[in-house]
Structure 1
Amino acid sequence: MSSSRIFSLFSSPDRIADDDKDSDSSQNESEEMKGEVHSYLEESIRPYIDLIDTLRSVGIQKDLALPTIAVIGDQSSGKSSVLEALSGVALPRGSGIVTRCPLELRLKKVTGGVKWKAVLSYRKRRIEFVDSSLVAGPIKASKLASGKVANLTHDEKKFEFGDPSLVEEHVEAAQNELAGKGVGICDELITLEVMSPDVCDLTLIDLPGIARVPIKGQPEDIGNQIKRLIMKFVEKPETINLVVVPCNTDIATTEALKMAQEVDPEGKRTVAILTKPDLIDKGTERNIVDIVHNKVIPLHKGYVIVKCRGQQQIDENIPLEEAKQMERDFFQNHDYFRCLLNEDKATIKCLAVKLTQNLVDHIKKSLPQLNEQITKLLWDVKTELKECEGGPPNDPRGAKQFLTETLKRFSDQIKSLSSGELVIKENLFVQLRAEFKKWNDHLNRTKTSFKNAKELSQKNRGRELLGFSNYKLFETILQKHVATLEEPAIELLHTIKDIIITHLTEVAIQCFRNYSVLIKITKTKINNIQSSQEDKTEQRISEQFEMENMVYTQDPIYLKILNEISEETFSEEQLPVFDIKSKYSEMLQAYYEIVVQQMADQLPMMISFFMLKETAQLLYTDMLSLLEKPDVRDLLFEDSDVSKRRKELRARLKRLSTAQEAISTFCTD
């Protein structure tokens, strides 16, 4: 079906048959064409529009971006006039920034006797201040110096009316409430849903006009504020960017088109509208035609030129329907632009058809990704809801049973964590192994060659005469060298303690996330047990280093290492001839190699045993003692925001499930 055939749907019956109004056959042909167009829309367009309407009606846009059209342009570019012509309602006008909040304009073509109806809605931020000492658990709020907590919430406001003349008043009132009276802007969205038999099926978002120079009362960075707000919308891949450019400006320098090109450099999701064609200088008409023909700045979705009501027509109260007829006459009688009308590249009605087609095509392309996003979000919501679904029974016996089950889940999680089966955020054993590797690397760096036997013997020589061996010399050198390892070993213990506390605390938060009292108690128990275990482990490490002063290893082990280091090979029977000071460097090196091998494994095993495995068991036993408290319901006190969170998750689950069901029929292929 060509766009010219679809175009006829948005033309009045008189215009469709205007050229042949006296011919019955032409009239019948026109009626047949209308029926064909209606059938095409019903079968190919309407289902997709209805799908997005369904998703939007259940509020799925709170969870992910939906295909839409964002309208951007410089101040006084004609944005409001274009939207008025598309929607059939008068929007706020004036100089400076008129659109001060993003305005989502939902146009819905309805039949069945409905004349005209609109619903305007928005959410106003509300700040609640509460004493921070009363707040338990994580909340989305900002802490103030006064010790108060500022908690942001939203109040939904909705107005339904049947008089089109009230639109401007309601939009202005909403903007004043959200952005304040004056010239400020706000990123809160205002939604205006217009249902009428005279509109096309579209959803557009009107954004503030791009300003370069602040006017009185505006902040110096108002231009940057507006650009940041616009970018929030136009950078989304789901958004078609509708750029409004006056014909009497240089399109190459238009800020709105530059911004669209930043986020869509290939122009695949950008449509441009040329406005105010009656204001161009004579002799520039061909330039405008070249732009619309995509010869100047090519856009994949192309250009449309329109002529909306001017200020004089507005002052004269020219109706929008009459203005549309005047627009068509303007292009029909224009020497240069008549061709654009014949090519369906001119008038608001042509724009409506083009945007509808583009939006539906965009919806089709976005559906697979939307389906994937909804499926993933559903999984996340169900998982999160499991963690806060239900709650402790009110009766003491039921509460105790609930606490028992809750503590058992925590115990199982701790056991899984200590055995390496549970991973929360980061893998505990990956972190531990990394720290143990640093310890092993440090040990290897402390290996000395002990090659300068003469210097070693002179520095550590006892009362013996020259030529005599001294075993005390051998021990002293080794003991001094091994003693330097104790401080790094204790530092390793402290590091491992911090890592384990972090992981144990994370498990507690995950298991008791709704119960701040339990979290607080568990954190205290974790820290107390870890401190006690740290003292115990530090004592074991000290004992380990005291034992290393004994200088002992099995003969076969020592001989094996010694033979690997020495240039000669000795048996146990030959070893006495090795006991000369010139060979002490090799003997020291061989024994220290054994020390390094022992310490590289023993310290990590010791720390892991006392700080992790034994801690897990102690923590489980200590937590069970909570069941002995007289009223366990105090332990299961829920944070004030838990019920609210549960309610939000259930609502989110409902709308995501509805969305998944609605979209599934479109993604079966």
Structure 2
Amino acid sequence: MLSLSYLVKIHIQIYADFEEIRKEIEAETERITGNNKGISDEPIHLKIFSPNVVNLTLVDLPGITKVPVGDQPNDIELQIRELILKYISNPNSIILAVTAANTDMATSEALKVAREVDPDGRRTLAVVTKLDLMDAGTDAMDVLMGRVIPVKLGIIGVVNRSQLDINQKKLVADSIRDEYAFLQKKYPSLANRNGTKYLARTLNRLLMHHIRDCLPELKTRINVLAAQYQSLLNSYGEPVDDKSATLLQLITKFAAEYCNTIEGTAKYIETAELCGGARICYIFHETFGRTLESVDPLGGLTTIDVLTAIRNATGPRPALFVPEVSFELLVKRQIKRLEEPSLRCVELVHEEMQRIIQHCSNYSTQELLRFPKLHDAIVEVVTSLLRRRLPVTNDMVHNLVAIELAYINTKHPDFTDAIGLMNNNLDEQRRNRLRDLPPSVPRDKAASSSAPVGEQVDGGTGNWRGMLKKGEEGVPGDRTTPQPLSVSPQRGHAVNLLDVPVPVSRKLSAREQRDCEVIERLIKSYFLIVRKNIQDSVPKAVMHFLVNHVKDCLQSELVGQLYKTALLNDLLTESVDMAQRRNEAADMLKALQKASQVIAEIRETHMW
């Protein structure tokens, strides 16, 4: 069986004598398969240039073997069948189903296998050989006329050289002449439609028609492949002539792409996830912002903590007013909690700027892959720059929180408004209490006993100490604080008051309850002011000390560290296989361009 293909390209050795060609084919066959009828799927390529042949590519496949002989394996039939199907399954090939004339066409293995891959017979041509070896009194007229088994592309009979002719080195030209004489004598009416020459012209015509049918798809595939290999070749770049200029160009391009990725103007925009400046923005306003909003102003602060702070701030003397020190102590404790999420924001931005390096290497500056040492050096320089800026930025964030802790501005406009609202609420509560007193209680005494000492805010400046007073002790409340344990002195002995334990649980008095509520409200009000400041100032600090600084200094840092004469040869050393891949891509691109030209010329080709 023969299969026709037109996609053959291999290393060529030129021969001028067909006898040498025959010997070379035999030697190559024995080298690959041995000299005892072994087989191999490795092809032997032979290209013939002659004015006496048509444009044609033939793939000579082994005949189907049923019984292994010589060194052939037991599954020789299966191996040959798979080898044949590998070639004839190609929809761009024409199948030559070769069958001997002295056998029954109905049992032809070649036609059977061809029909498996070409059930419509659109690309199958039957070839009948050994017309001169048929039994006396028989002929192949019905077979050649297509009356036995019809084949759409036709059936062509040929007479090849016998083994004796081959051994006696009979010329192919003499064989063709004898074949023509035989056909004129035995099949005069079919002589012009049979024979080796007619078979060659028919194959050429079928091939050209078949190629024309496949031209649109072939042209598209070739153009796509050519574009892919052109892009691949561009990524490999040209061999470096001016290393100094090349190094500066690569450094400049990387720095520009890095900055463009942050600004959102990069050529390659990521669509699967946020990247660069977009992710930094998300960190600032989503991750960091939501984290701060989730921090409870009074989180981790119990009523016992507030009351204890108030008591500790009064010292050994009972206080008439709630001490301001207790407020500052507690609000600083709460403000300190904003430092950890702020530092985490810096860390997330630093990680994203580290990821941008890989993004630029993968998508924006693929030519860096040519020079792995330069790529590693650039990554190291940028990583080092980011590493140096991280502690500076962290220190600034530490300072932002420390600044808020350094001075509690109780005259902040927003905080003054909060104090004014609380004063109004206290006045309203006092009026409600007076309204609820029984008629027997004088209003003036109740008012004087319930009004806070120094209630007026000093000079309208928002001093919150004046709105608190020492209230009556022992009035039941709804919050708890330490309760003194009962002590039973022994008879006849004095009670040592120093042995009485610190109170652990008791009801809060009205005064204590009011003091704690006021302190908590003040803490919450001031905490929200500081949180708003931190939420605004931390992103600004990160942008100034980390992001913008790296953007502004990146190119100069790369040039200063890498643009050195002593490093040129080392940094611009290509990977071991880069030159080989560049040559392979260039060769393939030339082959594809040649194929495109051939396709363009097919319409002008003479058809037999």
Compared CA separation, residues 168 and 552, structure 1 to 2 (3 A):
farther
Residue number in structure 2 paired with 1:527? 383
Q: 1:618 aligns with which of 541, 545, 553?
A: 553
In structure 2, how many angstroms separate the alpha carbons of the residues matched to 1:486 and 1:459? 29
Residue number in structure 1 paired with 2:13? 158
In structure 1, how many angstroms separate the alpha carbons of the residues matched to 2:410 and 2:113? 80
SS of corresponding position for 1:242: strand
Q: Kindly indicate whether the alpha-carbon contact (under 8 Å) linking 1:371 and 1:660 is maintained by their aligned counterparts in 2.
A: yes
Opposite residue 391 of structure 1, the aligned amino acid is V
In structure 1, how many angstroms separate the alpha carbons of the residues matched to 2:23 and 2:551? 65
Q: Kindly indicate whether the alpha-carbon contact (under 8 Å) linking 2:257 and 2:360 is maintained by their aligned counterparts in 1.
A: no
Opposite residue 615 of structure 1, the aligned amino acid is V
Gaps of 5+ in 1: 1-78, 87-102, 107-120, 123-155, 280-284, 295-301, 394-398, 560-569
Compared CA separation, residues 460 and 473, structure 1 to 2 (3 A):
farther
TM-score by length of 1: 0.49
Q: Kindly indicate whether the alpha-carbon contact (under 8 Å) linking 1:277 and 1:306 is maintained by their aligned counterparts in 2.
A: no
Alignment of 1:441-456 (within 5 A): none
SS of corresponding position for 1:158: coil
In structure 2, how many angstroms separate the alpha carbons of the residues matched to 1:303 and 1:427? 53
Q: 2:266 aligns with which of 411, 422, 432?
A: 422
Residue number in structure 1 paired with 2:57? 203
In structure 2, how many angstroms separate the alpha carbons of the residues matched to 1:545 and 1:474? 15
Q: 2:45 aligns with which of 188, 191, 194?
A: 191
Residue number in structure 2 paired with 1:496? 352
Compared CA separation, residues 383 and 464, structure 1 to 2 (3 A):
closer
Alignment of 1:5-44 (within 5 A): none
Q: Kindly indicate whether the alpha-carbon contact (under 8 Å) linking 1:533 and 1:611 is maintained by their aligned counterparts in 2.
A: yes
Alignment of 1:346-495 (within 5 A): 352-368=200-216, 377=226, 381=230, 384=233, 388-389=237-238, 391-392=240-241, 400=244, 403-404=247-248, 407-423=251-267, 430-432=274-276, 433=278, 462-463=307-308, 485=341, 489=345, 492-493=348-349, 495=351
In structure 2, how many angstroms separate the alpha carbons of the residues matched to 1:368 and 1:166? 41
Residue number in structure 2 paired with 1:304? 154
Compared CA separation, residues 493 and 547, structure 1 to 2 (3 A):
farther
Residue number in structure 2 paired with 1:97? none
Compared CA separation, residues 374 and 240, structure 1 to 2 (3 A):
closer
In structure 1, how many angstroms separate the alpha carbons of the residues matched to 2:291 and 2:555? 40
In structure 1, how many angstroms separate the alpha carbons of the residues matched to 2:411 and 2:72? 85
SS of corresponding position for 1:205: strand
SS of corresponding position for 2:15: strand
Displacement of 1:244 in angstroms is 3.2
Displacement of 1:624 in angstroms is 2.2
Displacement of 1:186 in angstroms is 4.8
In structure 2, how many angstroms separate the alpha carbons of the residues matched to 1:552 and 1:209? 100
Displacement of 1:203 in angstroms is 1.9
Opposite residue 93 of structure 2, the aligned amino acid is I
Query: What is the CA deviation profile of residues 476-498 of structure 1, one whole-angstrom value per residue up to 9, with x for unaligned ones?
Result: 99769867756864773464244
Displacement of 1:593 in angstroms is 13
Query: What is the CA deviation profile of residues 457-489 of structure 1, one whole-angstrom value per residue up to 9, with x for unaligned ones?
Result: 679765499xx9x97999699769867756864
Compared CA separation, residues 372 and 620, structure 1 to 2 (3 A):
same
TM-score by length of 2: 0.53
Compared CA separation, residues 225 and 493, structure 1 to 2 (3 A):
farther
Q: Give the superposed CA RMSD.
A: 6.6
Opposite residue 623 of structure 1, the aligned amino acid is L
In structure 2, how many angstroms separate the alpha carbons of the residues matched to 1:254 and 1:415? 66
Compared CA separation, residues 527 and 205, structure 1 to 2 (3 A):
farther
Q: Kindly indicate whether the alpha-carbon contact (under 8 Å) linking 1:244 and 1:274 is maintained by their aligned counterparts in 2.
A: yes
SS of corresponding position for 1:618: helix
Residue number in structure 2 paired with 1:174? 28
Opposite residue 357 of structure 1, the aligned amino acid is R
Displacement of 1:158 in angstroms is 0.9
Compared CA separation, residues 445 and 416, structure 1 to 2 (3 A):
closer
Displacement of 1:499 in angstroms is 1.9
Corresponding residue pairs, total? 477
In structure 1, how many angstroms separate the alpha carbons of the residues matched to 2:411 and 2:65? 85
Gaps of 5+ in 2: 100-104, 135-141, 311-321, 427-513
SS of corresponding position for 2:241: coil
In structure 1, how many angstroms separate the alpha carbons of the residues matched to 2:185 and 2:289? 88
Q: Choose between structure 1 and 2: higher strand proportion.
A: 1
Q: Kindly indicate whether the alpha-carbon contact (under 8 Å) linking 2:33 and 2:40 is maintained by their aligned counterparts in 1.
A: yes
In structure 1, how many angstroms separate the alpha carbons of the residues matched to 2:178 and 2:27? 27
Q: Kindly indicate whether the alpha-carbon contact (under 8 Å) linking 1:308 and 1:327 is maintained by their aligned counterparts in 2.
A: no
Alignment of 1:135-146 (within 5 A): none
Q: Kindly indicate whether the alpha-carbon contact (under 8 Å) linking 2:236 and 2:582 is maintained by their aligned counterparts in 1.
A: no
Compared CA separation, residues 324 and 214, structure 1 to 2 (3 A):
same
Displacement of 1:502 in angstroms is 0.9
SS of corresponding position for 2:13: strand
SS of corresponding position for 2:266: coil
SS of corresponding position for 1:193: coil
In structure 1, how many angstroms separate the alpha carbons of the residues matched to 2:387 and 2:284? 22
Residue number in structure 2 paired with 1:57? none
Opposite residue 431 of structure 1, the aligned amino acid is C
Q: Kindly indicate whether the alpha-carbon contact (under 8 Å) linking 1:460 and 1:476 is maintained by their aligned counterparts in 2.
A: no
Compared CA separation, residues 531 and 597, structure 1 to 2 (3 A):
same
Query: What is the CA deviation profile of residues 291-315 of structure 1, one whole-angstrom value per residue up to 9, with x for unaligned ones?
Result: 8546xxxxxxx343355669x9445
Q: Kindly indicate whether the alpha-carbon contact (under 8 Å) linking 1:533 and 1:610 is maintained by their aligned counterparts in 2.
A: yes
Residue number in structure 2 paired with 1:7? none
Query: What is the CA deviation profile of residues 575-627 of structure 1, one whole-angstrom value per residue up to 9, with x for unaligned ones?
Result: 76789979x99x9899889969986x988877677666543443422332344
Query: What is the CA deviation profile of residues 386-442 of structure 1, one whole-angstrom value per residue up to 9, with x for unaligned ones?
Result: 96335335xxxxx65665555445544544444443345957984344686589776
Opposite residue 621 of structure 1, the aligned amino acid is S
Compared CA separation, residues 416 and 439, structure 1 to 2 (3 A):
closer
Q: Kindly indicate whether the alpha-carbon contact (under 8 Å) linking 2:288 and 2:342 is maintained by their aligned counterparts in 1.
A: no
Alignment of 1:597-612 (within 5 A): none
Q: Kindly indicate whether the alpha-carbon contact (under 8 Å) linking 2:97 and 2:111 is maintained by their aligned counterparts in 1.
A: no
Alignment of 1:559-570 (within 5 A): none
SS of corresponding position for 2:555: helix
In structure 1, how many angstroms separate the alpha carbons of the residues matched to 2:154 and 2:525? 86
Opposite residue 169 of structure 1, the aligned amino acid is K
Alignment of 1:310-349 (within 5 A): 313-314=162-163, 321=176
Asked which structure has the greater CA Rg, the reply is 2
Compared CA separation, residues 250 and 654, structure 1 to 2 (3 A):
closer
Opposite residue 275 of structure 2, the aligned amino acid is Q
Displacement of 1:349 in angstroms is 5.9
Displacement of 1:368 in angstroms is 4.8
In structure 2, how many angstroms separate the alpha carbons of the residues matched to 1:637 and 1:248? 66
SS of corresponding position for 1:526: helix
Displacement of 1:202 in angstroms is 1.7
In structure 1, how many angstroms separate the alpha carbons of the residues matched to 2:525 and 2:83? 69
Displacement of 1:632 in angstroms is 4.7
Alignment of 1:567-606 (within 5 A): 574=421
Q: Kindly indicate whether the alpha-carbon contact (under 8 Å) linking 1:241 and 1:270 is maintained by their aligned counterparts in 2.
A: yes
Q: Kindly indicate whether the alpha-carbon contact (under 8 Å) linking 2:339 and 2:401 is maintained by their aligned counterparts in 1.
A: yes
Displacement of 1:218 in angstroms is 7.4
